[in-house]
Structure 1
Amino acid sequence: EGYTQTYTPGIRTNYRIAPNVSLRYRYSVTNNNQGSRKTKFVTNAPSIDFDAYIWKSVTFRTNYTYTNQDLGNGESQSFQNWDATLSYRKNRDAKWEYELKATNILDIDSQVRNSANNLSVFSSETFIQPRFLTFRFIYTL
Protein backbone atom coordinates (compact mmCIF):
# COMPACT_ATOMS: atom_id res chain seq x y z
CA GLU A 1 0.00 0.00 0.00
CA GLY A 2 1.41 3.37 -0.95
CA TYR A 3 0.46 6.89 -1.84
CA THR A 4 2.03 10.17 -2.86
CA GLN A 5 0.69 13.65 -2.22
CA THR A 6 2.16 16.76 -3.84
CA TYR A 7 1.27 20.39 -3.21
CA THR A 8 2.74 23.28 -5.21
CA PRO A 9 1.48 26.71 -4.14
CA GLY A 10 2.96 29.72 -5.86
CA ILE A 11 2.62 33.42 -6.53
CA ARG A 12 3.73 35.46 -9.51
CA THR A 13 3.62 38.89 -11.04
CA ASN A 14 2.38 39.62 -14.55
CA TYR A 15 3.66 43.04 -15.59
CA ARG A 16 4.08 44.11 -19.20
CA ILE A 17 7.18 46.23 -18.64
CA ALA A 18 8.35 45.67 -15.07
CA PRO A 19 10.29 42.57 -14.03
CA ASN A 20 8.22 39.45 -13.40
CA VAL A 21 8.88 37.04 -10.56
CA SER A 22 7.37 33.63 -9.84
CA LEU A 23 7.83 31.98 -6.44
CA ARG A 24 6.82 28.36 -5.93
CA TYR A 25 7.14 25.83 -3.16
CA ARG A 26 6.70 22.13 -3.92
CA TYR A 27 6.00 19.82 -1.00
CA SER A 28 5.67 16.11 -1.68
CA VAL A 29 5.17 13.15 0.65
CA THR A 30 5.48 9.52 -0.44
CA ASN A 31 4.37 6.87 2.06
CA ASN A 32 4.70 3.17 1.43
CA ASN A 33 3.88 0.15 3.58
CA GLN A 34 5.26 -3.20 2.40
CA GLY A 35 4.33 -5.28 5.41
CA SER A 36 7.28 -5.19 7.78
CA ARG A 37 8.95 -2.31 5.93
CA LYS A 38 7.58 1.22 5.93
CA THR A 39 9.16 4.08 4.00
CA LYS A 40 8.43 7.78 3.88
CA PHE A 41 10.07 10.35 1.63
CA VAL A 42 9.43 14.07 2.06
CA THR A 43 10.54 16.50 -0.64
CA ASN A 44 10.75 20.27 -0.18
CA ALA A 45 11.62 22.32 -3.26
CA PRO A 46 11.35 26.12 -3.25
CA SER A 47 12.02 27.80 -6.59
CA ILE A 48 12.13 31.25 -8.16
CA ASP A 49 11.80 32.35 -11.79
CA PHE A 50 12.71 35.89 -12.83
CA ASP A 51 12.47 37.65 -16.17
CA ALA A 52 12.95 41.30 -17.04
CA TYR A 53 13.49 43.62 -19.96
CA ILE A 54 16.78 45.40 -19.67
CA TRP A 55 16.59 48.39 -21.94
CA LYS A 56 14.10 47.88 -24.77
CA SER A 57 15.71 45.02 -26.64
CA VAL A 58 17.47 42.87 -24.03
CA THR A 59 15.72 40.26 -21.87
CA PHE A 60 17.19 38.52 -18.85
CA ARG A 61 15.61 35.27 -17.59
CA THR A 62 16.77 33.06 -14.75
CA ASN A 63 15.41 30.21 -12.63
CA TYR A 64 16.70 28.60 -9.47
CA THR A 65 15.47 25.54 -7.57
CA TYR A 66 16.67 24.05 -4.30
CA THR A 67 15.47 20.50 -3.64
CA ASN A 68 15.81 18.70 -0.31
CA GLN A 69 14.65 15.10 0.14
CA ASP A 70 14.22 13.69 3.64
CA LEU A 71 14.65 9.92 3.49
CA GLY A 72 12.73 9.28 6.71
CA ASN A 73 15.67 7.70 8.54
CA GLY A 74 17.36 10.90 9.65
CA GLU A 75 19.25 11.27 6.37
CA SER A 76 18.55 13.77 3.62
CA GLN A 77 19.81 14.58 0.15
CA SER A 78 19.75 17.97 -1.53
CA PHE A 79 20.73 19.58 -4.80
CA GLN A 80 20.37 22.94 -6.51
CA ASN A 81 19.81 23.94 -10.10
CA TRP A 82 20.30 27.40 -11.61
CA ASP A 83 19.95 28.42 -15.29
CA ALA A 84 20.00 31.86 -16.93
CA THR A 85 19.44 33.39 -20.38
CA LEU A 86 20.31 36.80 -21.80
CA SER A 87 18.70 37.54 -25.17
CA TYR A 88 18.78 40.44 -27.61
CA ARG A 89 16.16 41.30 -30.24
CA LYS A 90 16.33 44.69 -31.94
CA ASN A 91 12.53 45.14 -31.84
CA ARG A 92 9.33 43.08 -31.93
CA ASP A 93 9.37 42.86 -35.73
CA ALA A 94 13.02 41.80 -35.98
CA LYS A 95 13.58 38.39 -37.56
CA TRP A 96 16.83 37.68 -35.71
CA GLU A 97 17.29 37.11 -32.01
CA TYR A 98 20.60 36.40 -30.27
CA GLU A 99 20.73 34.47 -27.03
CA LEU A 100 23.42 33.63 -24.49
CA LYS A 101 22.28 30.69 -22.37
CA ALA A 102 23.97 29.25 -19.28
CA THR A 103 22.79 25.93 -17.85
CA ASN A 104 23.82 24.28 -14.59
CA ILE A 105 25.57 27.45 -13.43
CA LEU A 106 26.34 25.89 -10.03
CA ASP A 107 27.98 22.93 -11.82
CA ILE A 108 26.28 20.17 -9.83
CA ASP A 109 27.21 16.60 -10.77
CA SER A 110 23.92 14.77 -10.26
CA GLN A 111 20.48 14.84 -8.76
CA VAL A 112 18.89 12.07 -6.74
CA ARG A 113 15.23 11.02 -6.81
CA ASN A 114 13.70 8.61 -4.33
CA SER A 115 10.42 6.84 -4.84
CA ALA A 116 8.36 3.92 -3.64
CA ASN A 117 5.51 1.87 -5.04
CA ASN A 118 3.73 -1.38 -4.18
CA LEU A 119 6.60 -3.51 -5.50
CA SER A 120 9.78 -1.63 -4.68
CA VAL A 121 11.53 1.24 -2.98
CA PHE A 122 14.22 2.80 -5.11
CA SER A 123 16.66 5.63 -5.48
CA SER A 124 17.80 6.90 -8.86
CA GLU A 125 20.67 9.23 -9.62
CA THR A 126 20.67 11.30 -12.79
CA PHE A 127 24.01 12.67 -13.91
CA ILE A 128 23.73 16.21 -15.21
CA GLN A 129 25.69 17.78 -18.02
CA PRO A 130 28.39 20.06 -16.57
CA ARG A 131 28.07 23.83 -16.64
CA PHE A 132 27.38 24.75 -20.23
CA LEU A 133 27.36 28.08 -22.03
CA THR A 134 25.82 28.43 -25.50
CA PHE A 135 25.35 31.28 -27.92
CA ARG A 136 22.28 30.91 -30.11
CA PHE A 137 21.04 32.59 -33.24
CA ILE A 138 17.27 32.42 -33.67
CA TYR A 139 15.55 33.35 -36.93
CA THR A 140 11.77 33.77 -36.96
CA LEU A 141 10.00 33.11 -40.26
Structure 2
Amino acid sequence: MRDAKRSQFPHFLSIATRWMDNDVYGHVNNVVYYSYFDTAVNQFLIERGVLDIHKGEVVGFVVDSGCAYFSSISFPDTIHAGIRVAKLGNSSVRYEIALFRNDDEQPCAAGHFVHVYVARASNRSVPIPAPVRQVLETLRGAQA
Protein backbone atom coordinates (compact mmCIF):
# COMPACT_ATOMS: atom_id res chain seq x y z
CA MET A 1 0.00 0.00 0.00
CA ARG A 2 3.03 2.28 -0.30
CA ASP A 3 1.46 3.82 -3.41
CA ALA A 4 -2.00 4.25 -1.87
CA LYS A 5 -3.74 7.52 -2.64
CA ARG A 6 -6.05 9.45 -0.37
CA SER A 7 -8.83 9.04 -2.93
CA GLN A 8 -8.81 5.27 -2.31
CA PHE A 9 -10.13 5.68 1.24
CA PRO A 10 -13.78 6.52 1.85
CA HIS A 11 -13.28 7.80 5.41
CA PHE A 12 -10.62 9.80 7.25
CA LEU A 13 -9.99 10.64 10.89
CA SER A 14 -7.52 13.36 11.84
CA ILE A 15 -5.36 12.43 14.80
CA ALA A 16 -3.05 14.91 16.52
CA THR A 17 0.27 13.41 17.54
CA ARG A 18 1.28 13.96 21.14
CA TRP A 19 4.65 14.81 22.64
CA MET A 20 4.63 11.45 24.42
CA ASP A 21 4.24 9.61 21.08
CA ASN A 22 7.85 10.44 20.19
CA ASP A 23 10.54 8.01 21.27
CA VAL A 24 14.18 8.70 22.13
CA TYR A 25 14.99 8.84 18.40
CA GLY A 26 12.67 11.82 17.93
CA HIS A 27 9.92 10.14 15.93
CA VAL A 28 6.66 8.39 16.75
CA ASN A 29 7.38 4.93 18.12
CA ASN A 30 6.26 2.00 15.99
CA VAL A 31 3.73 0.67 18.53
CA VAL A 32 1.85 3.98 18.46
CA TYR A 33 0.94 3.43 14.80
CA TYR A 34 -1.22 0.49 15.89
CA SER A 35 -3.07 2.75 18.31
CA TYR A 36 -3.76 5.13 15.41
CA PHE A 37 -5.26 2.23 13.43
CA ASP A 38 -7.42 1.16 16.36
CA THR A 39 -8.54 4.72 17.06
CA ALA A 40 -9.50 5.42 13.45
CA VAL A 41 -11.63 2.30 13.06
CA ASN A 42 -13.25 2.30 16.49
CA GLN A 43 -14.01 6.04 16.38
CA PHE A 44 -15.72 5.50 13.03
CA LEU A 45 -17.84 2.63 14.43
CA ILE A 46 -18.75 4.55 17.58
CA GLU A 47 -19.74 7.67 15.61
CA ARG A 48 -21.98 5.54 13.37
CA GLY A 49 -23.71 4.07 16.44
CA VAL A 50 -22.69 0.44 15.85
CA LEU A 51 -20.08 0.03 18.61
CA ASP A 52 -20.91 0.35 22.29
CA ILE A 53 -17.62 -0.37 24.03
CA HIS A 54 -19.26 -0.68 27.45
CA LYS A 55 -22.58 -2.45 26.90
CA GLY A 56 -22.56 -3.92 23.40
CA GLU A 57 -23.52 -7.60 23.29
CA VAL A 58 -21.44 -8.13 20.15
CA VAL A 59 -17.93 -6.69 19.78
CA GLY A 60 -15.03 -7.03 17.38
CA PHE A 61 -11.80 -8.64 18.57
CA VAL A 62 -8.60 -7.94 16.66
CA VAL A 63 -7.15 -11.30 15.56
CA ASP A 64 -4.57 -10.18 12.98
CA SER A 65 -2.69 -6.96 12.31
CA GLY A 66 0.30 -5.64 10.45
CA CYS A 67 2.02 -2.41 9.52
CA ALA A 68 4.58 -1.26 6.95
CA TYR A 69 6.51 1.93 7.66
CA PHE A 70 7.56 4.23 4.82
CA SER A 71 8.58 7.52 6.46
CA SER A 72 8.72 8.99 9.95
CA ILE A 73 6.05 10.84 11.88
CA SER A 74 7.01 13.23 14.68
CA PHE A 75 5.18 15.44 17.12
CA PRO A 76 3.55 17.91 16.27
CA ASP A 77 2.45 16.28 12.99
CA THR A 78 -1.23 15.68 12.32
CA ILE A 79 -2.09 12.23 11.03
CA HIS A 80 -4.94 11.67 8.59
CA ALA A 81 -5.93 8.02 8.92
CA GLY A 82 -7.72 6.72 5.85
CA ILE A 83 -9.74 3.56 6.39
CA ARG A 84 -11.41 1.13 4.05
CA VAL A 85 -12.81 -2.40 4.16
CA ALA A 86 -10.78 -4.82 2.07
CA LYS A 87 -12.79 -7.95 2.89
CA LEU A 88 -16.16 -8.43 4.55
CA GLY A 89 -16.88 -11.99 5.61
CA ASN A 90 -19.63 -13.63 7.64
CA SER A 91 -18.12 -12.93 11.07
CA SER A 92 -14.97 -10.99 10.22
CA VAL A 93 -13.83 -7.84 8.48
CA ARG A 94 -10.38 -6.84 7.23
CA TYR A 95 -9.65 -3.13 7.41
CA GLU A 96 -6.85 -1.39 5.56
CA ILE A 97 -5.56 1.82 7.05
CA ALA A 98 -3.14 4.34 5.56
CA LEU A 99 -1.60 7.09 7.65
CA PHE A 100 -0.92 10.36 5.84
CA ARG A 101 1.24 12.96 7.59
CA ASN A 102 -0.06 16.53 7.42
CA ASP A 103 -0.76 17.28 3.74
CA ASP A 104 1.45 14.52 2.29
CA GLU A 105 -0.03 12.67 -0.67
CA GLN A 106 1.89 9.45 0.01
CA PRO A 107 1.24 7.46 3.18
CA CYS A 108 3.95 7.37 5.82
CA ALA A 109 2.64 3.98 6.99
CA ALA A 110 -0.05 1.52 5.98
CA GLY A 111 -1.43 -1.57 7.56
CA HIS A 112 -4.38 -3.77 8.28
CA PHE A 113 -6.26 -5.42 11.03
CA VAL A 114 -8.98 -8.01 11.19
CA HIS A 115 -11.95 -7.87 13.54
CA VAL A 116 -13.78 -11.09 14.33
CA TYR A 117 -17.18 -10.37 15.79
CA VAL A 118 -17.94 -12.24 19.01
CA ALA A 119 -20.70 -12.43 21.58
CA ARG A 120 -19.25 -10.61 24.57
CA ALA A 121 -20.75 -13.08 27.05
CA SER A 122 -19.27 -16.20 25.43
CA ASN A 123 -16.31 -14.89 23.38
CA ARG A 124 -17.59 -17.07 20.52
CA SER A 125 -17.73 -15.77 16.98
CA VAL A 126 -21.08 -14.65 15.63
CA PRO A 127 -22.23 -13.23 12.29
CA ILE A 128 -21.62 -9.52 11.88
CA PRO A 129 -24.87 -7.83 12.97
CA ALA A 130 -26.87 -6.34 10.07
CA PRO A 131 -26.52 -2.70 11.26
CA VAL A 132 -22.74 -3.12 11.54
CA ARG A 133 -22.56 -4.77 8.13
CA GLN A 134 -24.44 -1.85 6.58
CA VAL A 135 -21.97 0.62 8.06
CA LEU A 136 -18.97 -1.48 7.00
CA GLU A 137 -20.29 -1.56 3.42
CA THR A 138 -19.78 2.22 3.30
CA LEU A 139 -16.04 1.65 3.82
CA ARG A 140 -15.54 -0.43 0.72
CA GLY A 141 -13.18 1.86 -1.12
CA ALA A 142 -11.56 1.98 -4.52
CA GLN A 143 -8.52 -0.24 -4.18
CA ALA A 144 -6.06 0.32 -7.00
Q: TM-score, normalised by structure 1?
A: 0.28
Give 1 or 2: higher helix fraction.
2
Question: Which structure would you say has the larger RCO, counting Cα contacts within 8 Å and 6 or more residues apart?
Answer: 2
Structure richer in strand, relative to its length: 1
TM-score with structure 2 setting the length: 0.28
